[in-house]
Every structure is written in C-alpha cells, then in structure tokens.
Structure 1
Amino acid sequence: IRGEVSFPHATLGKRIYDYILTPVFNEHNEVEAVAGVTRDVTERRIWEESLEKASEELQAMNEEMATTNEELSDANDGLTAANEELAKLNKQLYNARKKIEENEDSLRLAVSAANFGTWRIHSATREFVTDARMKELFGYYPHESLSIEQALAQVQEDFRSYVSTKLENAIYNKGDYDITYPVTGLHDKKLRWLRAIGNLKSDSSGQFSAFTGVVIDVTEQQLENQRKNDFIGMVSHELKTPITSLFGYLQLMNDETGKGENPLMDHALEKSLKQVKKMTRMIDSFLNVARLESGKIFLNKTDFSVNELFGELEEELKHIYTTHLLVFEKGQDISIHADREKIAQVINNLISNAVKYSDHNTLIKVSVELSGNFLAIHVTDSGIGIAAEDLPRIFERFYRADSAHTTAGFGIGLYLCSEIIGLHNGTIGVESEKGKGADFYFSLP
C-alpha cells in the first residue's frame, strides 16, 4: 500500500509524508506483521504545487496571448483597410484641390477679362480687402489703402445713405446686395456708375461672416439708359398735353351728348374716354420710369391707416374693373409710415396686372397681414399664372413672360412696383405656378 498523509509537526508545522506498507507473511502464508517506510515530501509537494500553478498561469498567458494575437491580426486587417481608404481619400482630396485651383485660376481669368473689381468684408472686424481694379474704380492708386468709409465717401451724396444702408443690411441682416450707384474718383475726379453685387457666407465657427462681391463699371450702360429715359420722358411729356386736351374735349362732348338721346354716340364716347384714361396711365408709367432712373422720384412719407387706404381704393377701382370680382379683406387697423400715394399706385398696378391675366368674373383678392415688424399686402388672382423660368425676372424693366405676349403692355408696371417698394426698404415677390394663378405681395417695415 502506498499513500500520503499530513499531520502537524511539533516544530516544523504541517508536514506531508508519503509511505509504503508491505505485509510480512509467516510460513502459513499469514500476515504476521507489516513492514513500512516513510519520508517527508513536504518541500517536493510545495514545489509540485508551485510548478502546477505556474503551469496554469503560463497556460492562461498563452491563451491570452493567442487572443491578443487574433485581435492584433484583426486590428492589422482593419488598419490595412483604413490605410487603403485613407490613400483613396488623399487621392480624392488631391484631385479636389487640383480642381479648386483650376477653378480659382479660371475665376481669376474671368474676373480679369471682365475687368471686375473684387472685395471682401469681415463682419466682425470690418476689415475691407480689395484688389487693384476695385481701387481704380474709386479713383485710388494700387498702393493706397481703401477702407469702407473711404469708399462710401466717393459715392455721390444723393446715393451715399442708400448704399450705406443696403451694405449694412446685407452684412448684418443677410439682405440682398445688388445695387447701382455713381462715384467720383478720388484722384482722377472721374464720374463712374458702378454696379456692386455681394454675397454673405457664414464661417464654420459661426462667430463671423465673410461678405464678398464684385464691382462692375456700368457707366456706358447707365449713360445709354439715361439717354433712353430722357427720350422716353421727353416723348411722354410731349404726349401728355395733347392727351389731356383730348380727354377734356371728350369729357365735354360726353357731358353734352350723354343724355340717352344717341346711345351709339354715348357708347363710343364712353369707350373713347376709357382708352384715353388707359393711355394717360401708360404715359404716367413711362414718366415715372424716367423720373425713377434719373433719381427724381422722392418719397413723401406720412402715417396713414391701411384700412382707410383699402376703403378708398375699393370705392375707386370697383367702377374701373367691372369685369372682375374685386374683394378687399380688411384686417386689424394698422398704421404705417410710407408714401401713401405711391403705395396706392403699387396696389393699383398689381390689381391691374391681375385683371389683365385672369378670366372675367373671377375673384381678385387684396389682403393685409402683420408679421413681426413687417406689414405684408397680397394681391391674389386665379389667372394664367407664371412659368417657373419667368419668376426670377418678372420684376425686371421691360421684361414680359412668354405667356404675357398676347396681352397689351410694356413690362414696366411690375418694375415700377419693385423700385417703389425698394425705396421704402421693403421687399416684393410673387408665388405662382403656370395655370394656377398668382399671389403678388410686398412687405414694408
């Protein structure tokens, strides 16, 4: 028999012994004694246990290392894929940079060929960066610095406040900036008409914006337009006198004969008076265009009630536009500070436009609404509508949509409306689809 046994030692503590017991037989083959041997195996057992524990720890380390190797292998695969993707992105970035550089070169060539001046304004610091052409247009030498205040000082006095207001509104209120104004060069004293177009872009940090744009010398075009306007004004003025006389004579004849004795004559006179009134309004429009372009239209602003204006227009226009159902929707009694006569002219022009392009016996609605610090007036019809491609140019001078060519007109009514509202620092617009009517509106502060 072989085994191990542990028991405490008086001085050494717990000890482990192994033993071997062998039976001793007599002549009768009977066990008469037991012989045995024992030894202290405590140190060996401690060493074996330590070795077993170390083996287990080594096995665990091997397993952990195997897992780590697998993870490293996966990481290496991922890193390889990431490097390949990064290489692809770097190539795309390189191509994009190359494309941007090509576009910048093309833009520089285009700006140079078009003889534009360029500028940039930092909305926070108001730093004004300009190129040599920009300085030249304001009469400065290329080596001289040019600030916003210095540039405004070269704008003719009649336009200076207008340009300054539009500039500040564009930088800090994201307003539109496409204006034409005259300047006198600082050194050359040369009069130039400039058209400035700007665009506001916010920085990715959101802390400031960059206002960039171009300036174009439009002196020749402006002088040509001035000659046209002078001619239009002269012809319109010359026509005004005979038309006024003709209207007076027709009115006198109508007073004398319009007693029901000759229905045919009464009808002819009535039609003639309407046509003369139409010609008078047309001549007035041409005169207004000429005055507007020459800067001779001035605003006479007063405080007035919108509801009262609606009431007067409704009473006047219902006798003129008898072919349509004209409805003025009066809301809250709002008072505004504006040129009453010119705002009435804008509403009248928009109504006249709606009458032209909508069927008889259809509704034309005039309404008002208050949104924040702005008052908006809408003129809505259910007429032929406006094609999408015509909408961006509908307020340009002499522009007429393709669908409007079958209707008489010169394309100046909406242009006049736009300019009058612009003089009030307001906005004008239209929402329309072809065949679904139109909603013209303008808002005033």
Structure 2
Amino acid sequence: MPGSQRNRPRIGKEEKQDRITEEALRQCLRIEEQAALLSAIFRYSPEGMAFGDTDLVVRAANQSLARQIRVPLDRIAGRSADELTPGWTEQMGDIVHKVRATGQSFQAQAFPFVFKNQPQRGTTYWDFSLSPVYRDGNVLIGYLMLTREVTERVQAERDRHRLVQEQAARAEAEARIRQLERLIEAVPDAVIIVDQNQNVVAINRAVMEMGKVADRSHLLRPLTDYQPSFRFFYPDGRPVPPEEWSALRALHGETVMMREIRVCLPDGEERLVQINAAPVRDERGEVVLAVAVVRDVTQQRRGEWQRRVLSQVGEALSQGLNLEAILQTTLDQTLQLLGADLVGVFLADAERRELVLTAHRNIRPETEGLLRRLPFDAPVLSARAFAAGEVQMMEDVSQIPADLPMTRRLVAIEGARFLVALPLRAGGRPIGTITYGAHTPRRFTEGDLDIARRVANMFAVAIENARLFEEARRHVVELAEERTRREDLLRTVSHDLRAPLTIILGQSQFLLRVGEKAGLRGVEQHSAEAVHTSARKMNAMIQDLVDSVRLEAGLLKLAKTSIDLRRFVSDLLDRARTMMEVGRVKVEMPPDLPPVAADPDRIERILMNLLTNALKYSSSETEVTVRAERANGEVTVSVTDRGIGIAPEDLPNIFQRFYRVKGERKPEGLGLGLYITRMLVEAHSGRVWVESELGKGSSFYFTLPIQLI
C-alpha cells in the first residue's frame, strides 16, 4: 500500500507531461498544416503574390505573379522590383512611402501600369494590395503584394461605356435629326443634312419633289452613291467632282454661298439649282453635320433669259419699220424663247378676207403652199384663232377635231406634235395670227402662254407701227407734193400775178400824177384813183396769200432783234398817217417796259392788221388803245376798240384761215389777216387771243418774248 501511494504522484506528473507533449505535437502539426496550406495558397493562388524586403528586393513570389509580369519564376527571387519591371519605383514609389508611413495596407482597383520593358503591352490595369509585414509586432521586415491583372475587364468596361455613350449619342443624334426633319419639312427649299460619314441622314419633301423620288429611303444613303442616278455639272458644262460637292466641302468646315450647279435628274431632265451649304458644329467646335439648302432657280433663270430675249425682240420690233425684215430677224429668237420648232405669221387682207402667210420658219415647201393664203373661215387652227380672237392650242394632236381637216393634213406633213395659234390685235381689231408648232409633245404652262401672248402683242404693235409708218411715209410724200404745189403757187402768185399788177399800179399812179398836173377832177381822175386803190388792195391780198403759204410751209424766216415797243409803235403811227386814222389811236405803255426779241417787219405786220381791223370796225368818234405790259416773263400787247364787237360763236374761229365773221355785209380781202397774225405771233413763240362783247368792242392780245441781255 505504501508503495502504491508513493507511486501515484509520479504517474500524475507523467500524464501531464504527456499531455503537454501531445499538445505541442498537435500545434506543430497545425503549424505544418498551416504552412503547407499557406505554401499551397502561395503557390496555386490565381492572384499574383510576392514578398519583398524593405529595399524592394523580391524574396518570394508565386507562379501567378511570374505569369503576370512575364518573367520566369526562377528568375524573380533576389531581384529588385525595378529590375523585374523597369519603372516600378517611378510608378509605385508614392504608394510604398504611404504604406511605410501609415503602417496601413493600400488597395487599388484598375490601377494603370506601364511595363517599360514590354511596350507592346501598352497600359495595363491592376487590382492590387500592398501590405506591410512586421516581426515581433513592430519591426518592418518587408511588404506583401497581391496582384490581379484586370486589363481585359477595364477594356471591356470601357468598351461597354463607349458603346453606351455611342448609343446615347446615336439616340441623341437621331432625336436631333427627327427634330431637324420636322423643322426642315416646313422649308420651301430643298434641305439635305449629311453626317460625318457622308451619309444623307435627313431630307425634306422638297428634295423628293425636286429629285422626282417617291421613296424617302432611296435618298437616305451615302451622298457619293447619288451618282450616276444624279449627275452634277458646272454652268459651263464641266462635271463637278465629288470633292467639290457643296455638302462635302461643308463637312470640312467650309461655308458655300450662292453656288449655281446644273443637276441632271434620273429621267434626263436638267435643272439649275442654287446651293448654300454650311457646317454644323458641336459644343467643342467640331463639325458633326453639314446642311445644304438647294433652291431650284431653273424657272427664275429661264424667266430672266426670257425677259432679256423679250426685251431684245421688243426693241427690234419697236425700232424697225420694215416689218418683213424685222420678222425675219426676230422669229428665230421667238422659237428659242418658246421652245418651238416652227412658226408662221399670218396677216389679214381685209379686202380679200384672207390670211396671208407673211413670214415663217422651218416650214416645208408643201406646207407653205397650203398656207400662203387662207380664207378667214379656213378649216385650220390659225384661221380659227383669228375668227375667235382667242388662243387656240392642241397639246395632243391625235385629238384634232373633225372640222379642222387642213390642220390634220399639216400635222401629218410637218410631223408636229403640238400646235398653238394666237390672234394678233391692234387698236382692238384683229390683224392676223401667229402660230407655233413643236415636233415633240409638250405642255404649255401659264408662263409659256403669257410669254407667247406678249410676243404676239409685240408683233401686233410692230405690224401696227409698220402700217402707221407706211401711212406716215405716204403722208410725207403727199406733204412734199403739197409743198411743191404751194411753192409753185407761191412762185405763180408772187411772180406771174404780181408782174402785171405792178404794171397796173405803176400806170395808174402815172395817170394820177398826169391828171393832177392837168388839173383833172372829173370822171377820169376818179377812174384812175379807183384803179390804183383796187390794185393796191389786190397787191395786199396777194401778199397775204404769199405770206400764208410761206408760214404754212415753214419758209418764213425771222430776223429777230431787240425792239423798244414804245418807240416802235410811235414810229409806226407816224409812217401810217396817210393810210389810217392814227389820230384815233392812243398808246399806253410804261416807261420801264423791257425790250422784246422780235422781227420788226413781222411785228409791224401784226400791229397794222390789228389796228386796221380796230379802226374799221369801230366808230370814228371812238378811240383805239394800244397797251403793253410785262407779265410772267414776257410782254403782253393789246389792241382795244370800242366797236361792234364779235359774236360768241365767231370767237373760236376768228384766227382760222379764210374765216369771215357771219353777217358781215361787205367782206373785204381773203380772210387771212388774223390768220397771218396768229401764225406770225406763234413764229415768235408767243400766244394770241381775243376778248369781245357785242356792242362794246373787242380786245386782241398777243405776247412776245423779252430780249435777254
């Protein structure tokens, strides 16, 4: 028993030691297991792992890191980070300093890193952590780095982001284009929008109408694909290369203004367009679109050309007076103006009731023979236009009415596919027709019809002018003949009649002197006085007749000089004492009356005519007053009597040739005195008129120009 008691403590102590040993063994096993686990993790981890000392020399690394940096694993340990990846310290130095200073791990995602020894890799991206490693809790012995390359992920994210941005931009662009489409649809001109890829992305309906395209999508394609359906030419006919197209120039930042281009459409029709193109820039100033505004100026330019040709035709027709020559020179222009191939001008012969083919272009001889003379009621389009006084047009010659068989025959001869006949009218009366034809079908627009009417009116005016010119020419010939007759009469009167009259005057005056010397006072003396007086009156009438003929023929020439009317009238009355009762004449003229510019002989004739009449048609107990005054830049002279006056019905004709006052019992002379007075006053650029009242007398007025100093 005692022995057994002594052995109990020993057994307890051994068991405790065994337990300690077993625990230590278990801990060692755990450490070995953990070490093996850590080794396995270090070795097989997909993340790159590396341990470097404080000098950044790698002491351990796994295979994943070797693959990531593309360096064999057995060449990593013992080399610095900069040796393995040149530039590592430059790119990571700040991070290492931060970890060392703070004692805290640093983590980064998608960190950019450039392998300077592997430039082909470009910029790579990494998720990594850099942690400090301590011994005994406070002694820094190095750094543990865990890395994973995420370059592909970053690129994928960037691609996704770019795709999202592109989709958003595309959606925004499409929305902007839809908005632009709504805006440009209201624009009357054709609008084309082109993107940076030279694709037509938007057009308005005006583009479709101009290009004669029904499907909008047919035009929403690359602009350069428009050829060869659409062809573009400069106005001089040279093709426009694509690099010179206005929209493409705008994509390069250029603004194109008022550029004219000829466009040949798919159906062969040619249009003249005016293009304005400009770039559209984003907020960064980069060109994103080009906008081209296209205006069809075909009709505008054609209208301008038509107006020029019309002006030329009108000028030629208005200036010329030989109608046939004018028509021959202007018909070609009218054909071009109206796009016709043949034309005929018919003038009416009213006496024969026929239309006469006066001028034509491109008509066959057979047709000319048929159309040379047409009755007013001929079964042909030209005659119908003349009779109706309205335009007659056939755009479809297959529908010629049965009552126009001659037109059907003419169409067959000429091969015409279109006809239009327009009446020619002058002064409200028909004078002919003008007919155009074309060898191809065509539609006459209102504009074409307006041009045709204007040409017809011009021809009508020219024809009327030619007729008036011919009448004027005949009138001139007649006037020349009349002038010749007047000159012959003037020579006859002034020579053939005056020659014997001069003898009569001379002999009668001789007889009067002889009788006076012989003391004759009887019948013989009175007979001689009667012969002499009658001869003198006849001589005065012959002078009046000669003067009237000269005045009417424009043969009378004035010898103007400066005349003081006060002195002139006084001298005239002194000379006329033996011929009239000058004692009855009273002169009233202001002393400051300016001189007049006149022919003295003609002024004397005017005053003598007026004074003679005033004294003759007034009582011997009354005065005749001669007045003159300055008024309105001229001198007005008047001769006033207090005689019997002139009836109102005679006043309008008192200055007419050969006019005699009604009721005059013993008319003397030829009725030329006042007529010659008027002609002489008007020859001085003056005016003459009369104021009279029966039973109270008359006042005759005339004006003369003031002599300019």
Q: TM-score with structure 1 length normalisation? A: 0.49
Of structures 1 and 2, the one with the larger relative CO (CA 8 A, separation 6+) is: 1
Structure of larger gyration radius: 2
